[in-house]
Amino acid sequence: MRGFAFYDFALDNGSNGRMRVSIFKGVALLAVIASAIGASPTWAQQASEKKVTWKSVEFAIVKFNDEAPKSWGMYHTERKGLLLVRLWKRYLLVDVKEQEVYEIDPQTVKPAGDNVEWSLADKPSEPIETVEWKTRDIGPMQRVAFRLGKAGHVLDLQIPLKPNGQPAY
């Protein structure tokens, strides 16, 4: 092992002098860095649990049983097709692409001005039952309507589209 530590190589440090670095020391340093990054599942978990700012959706329309709720909000993140909808004090995560709706614990959502902060790590494992899911374009809006449960309430979301017809959120 001692013989391994004597294999040195020179690096030019930009001046007339030379810097000598031990291969053994370099390998040991790389091993320490790799173990700190790779062996720390809490580091990766903390990154995924970071609260994301959900921005308010401009010009959206929400109807609950064909009426506008007295208190509502719709929020989006960088991921297209994922919306956080607030109805009174209840929050629903709507995944338009997968046609799934999740009930979100309101204690995990933190209001921040016109926006809210919430982490996808707090998403429940099972979606709530939704039936009669309908999606269609109605001019400059995309309409997403579904029933919560077999005989439940109908939620109708109208989401703005870009001029090229693609969803804006």
* CA atoms of 57 and 77, how far apart (whole Å): 10
* 60 and 117 belong to one structural domain: yes
Give the residue numbers spanning the domain of 102: 52-160
pLDDT reading at 17 higher than 70: no
pLDDT reading at 21 higher than 70: no
* 56 and 127 belong to one structural domain: yes
The one-letter code for the residue type at 2 is: R
What radius of gyration do the chain's Cα atoms show? 26
Instruction: Kindly report, residue by residue over 99-146, the tens digit of the pLDDT.
Output: 999 999 999 999 999 999 999 999 999 999 999 999 999 889 999 999
| Cβ neighbours of residue 142 closer than 8 Å, sequence gap 6 or more | 135, 136, 158, 159, 160, 161, 167
Q: Is residue 153 part of a domain?
A: yes
Predicted confidence at residue 139, as pLDDT, reads 87
Predicted confidence at residue 116, as pLDDT, reads 97
Instruction: Kindly report, residue by residue over 23-74, the tens digit of the pLDDT.
Output: 445 444 444 444 444 444 433 344 446 889 999 999 999 999 999 999 999 9
Could you tell me the two tokens for 112? 């921040």
Q: Is residue 46 part of a domain?
A: no
- Helix H, strand E, coil C: the string for 68-99 is CCCCEEEEECCCCCEEEEEECCEEEEEECCCC
Greater confidence (11 vs 154) lies with 154
Q: What is the model's pTM?
A: 0.69
Work out how many domains the chain is built from and give that number. 2
Q: Is residue 148 part of a domain?
A: yes
Q: Is residue 121 part of a domain?
A: yes
* 26 and 107 belong to one structural domain: no
* 149 and 112 belong to one structural domain: yes
* CA atoms of 5 and 121, how far apart (whole Å): 46
- CB burial string 23-61: b at 16+ within 10 A, e below: eeeeeeeeeeeeeeeeeeeeeeeeeeeebbebbebeebe
- Tell me the H-state helices in the chain: 2-5, 23-38, 41-48
